[in-house]
Amino acid sequence: MADFEGAQGKKGIIDCDVHVYPKSSDELRSYMQEPWRSRNLPSGRGGFYENPVHGVRLDAKPPGGGGAGTDPDFLRRQLIEEYGIDHAILLPRAFCNMIPDPDLATALAAAYNDWLADTWLGKYNNDGVFKGSITIAHQDPVAAAKEIDRWAGHPHFVQVMTDSGARAPFGQRQYYPIYEACERNGFPFAIHPGTDGMGINEQPSPGYPTHYIEWHTCLSLSFQAHLVSFITEGVFERFPDFKVVLVEGGVSWLPALMWRLDAEYKGLRYEVPWLTKRPSEYLRNHVRMASQPIERPDNDQHLLQVLDMMDARHILMFSSDYPHWDFDSPKRAFPKLPEDLYNRIFSDTARELYRLR
């Protein structure tokens, strides 16, 4: 595979999907108040579907013990220093969006935010390399908006995050309080795979897959549904400064989906009169995509053509998904790119979105 060892003029990398975890459930519980501290907390993870071999890189477990993504010094050596990462955007995995009790879900989200602020964004972050995501429970949009407001002005929280698992497409109006809070505080809204078909949430495929390979291949289905909903429901018209980040759902499906939606719009625009332009034209101002897991076909030219068709120069950002089993190395994930496109994908677009130096 091609890599970038010889590239000239490369900028420091922004990795837009790095997962970190509490050292133990007790560490997380210490940030919860009663009655929630004594409750059983959901483990979440892959739900019914777990990698049949291993779920994380085999070399990602710290030599001093503990789970992958729990040791900041080891993560710095294995990711930050190894690849020249300027900033790592941290996405904790609370899996709170599957919980029927919205109060417990909100309390769990808040505990993750307090824990992240105190540890990875606090005492582990003297140089500011780590930037964080505000976890919300979208079951209660009003409470979620209050949680977003609670962290406004924090120097290291740069976005809001939620699972793709939901009971309704994200363009629908019950979610508007979340988007209002994102817009007024200048936070992008990141969607990460998780809790689809779990707990109270709908499964995006027709029924439940049999195997992990089916489930993992189809992670992008909910992303596609949410994106079409955002556009056709007029969310980007109602909230003109609102931005969505699609994380860990792949990217190659985007051009074909937008072609189809644009074609439908030609004959059905009367149904969505609030749209002022073709659906695909909303992407550049409102949508960003993180690259992992990048689809790498046998012919690299095919991927380069897809990058051109999807306007990757303006909407694609690099992500590694560290420390998971399908980690994308910055050196090997892409074919060789022109220097200006490399800098956009690996650095500039994320710096602009997250307001990073």
DSSP notation for 178-246: HHHHHHHHT--EEEE---TTSTTPPPSSSS--SSHHHHHHTTHHHHHHHHHHHHHTTHHHHSTT--EEE
Residue 162 dihedral angles phi and psi, to the nearest 5°:
-150, 165
Q: Which residues contact 299 (CB under 8 A, 6 or more apart)?
A: none
Please give the Cα distance from 219 to 3 (Å, whole number): 27
pLDDT of 8: 43
Say if 8 falls within a structural domain. no
Quick one: angle between helices 176-185 and 141-150, nearest 10?
A: 10
Say if 218 falls within a structural domain. yes
Please give the Cα distance from 32 to 225 (Å, whole number): 34
Say if 283 falls within a structural domain. yes
pLDDT of 10: 65
The answer to whether the CB of 320 falls within 8 A of the CB of 332 is no
| Structure-block tokens of residue 306 | 């897809």
CA dist list (Å): 295 to 85, 280, 311, 319: 22, 21, 16, 13
CA dist list (Å): 190 to 186, 248, 305: 13, 10, 26
Say if 57 falls within a structural domain. yes
Rg of the chain (C-alpha set): 20
Residue 288, SS3 per DSSP:
strand
The answer to whether the CB of 77 falls within 8 A of the CB of 60 is no
Say if 255 falls within a structural domain. yes
For residue 163, what are the β-bridge partners?
A: 192
pLDDT of 177: 98
The answer to whether the CB of 347 falls within 8 A of the CB of 13 is yes
pLDDT of 53: 85
- Indicate the number of domains in the chain: 1
Domain span at 197: 18-354
From first to last of its 357 residues, what are the pLDDT tens digits of the chain?
333 333 445 679 999 999 999 999 999 999 999 999 998 877 655 568 888 888 888 899 999 999 999 999 999 999 999 999 999 999 999 999 999 999 999 999 999 999 999 999 999 999 999 999 999 999 999 999 999 999 999 999 999 999 999 999 999 999 999 999 999 999 999 999 999 999 999 999 999 999 999 999 999 999 999 999 999 999 999 999 999 999 999 999 999 999 999 999 999 999 999 999 999 999 999 999 999 999 999 999 999 999 999 999 999 999 999 999 999 999 999 999 999 999 999 999 999 999 998
Please give the Cα distance from 167 to 110 (Å, whole number): 21
Strands 287-290 and 316-317: parallel
Please give the Cα distance from 206 to 184 (Å, whole number): 37
Q: Which residues contact 220 (CB under 8 A, 6 or more apart)?
A: 249, 250, 253
Say if 10 falls within a structural domain. no
Say if 247 falls within a structural domain. yes
pLDDT of 3: 39
Secondary structure letter of residue 334 according to DSSP: S
pLDDT of 79: 97
pLDDT of 39: 87
Say if 233 falls within a structural domain. yes
Q: Look up the CATH number of the domain holding residue 342.
A: 3.20.20.140
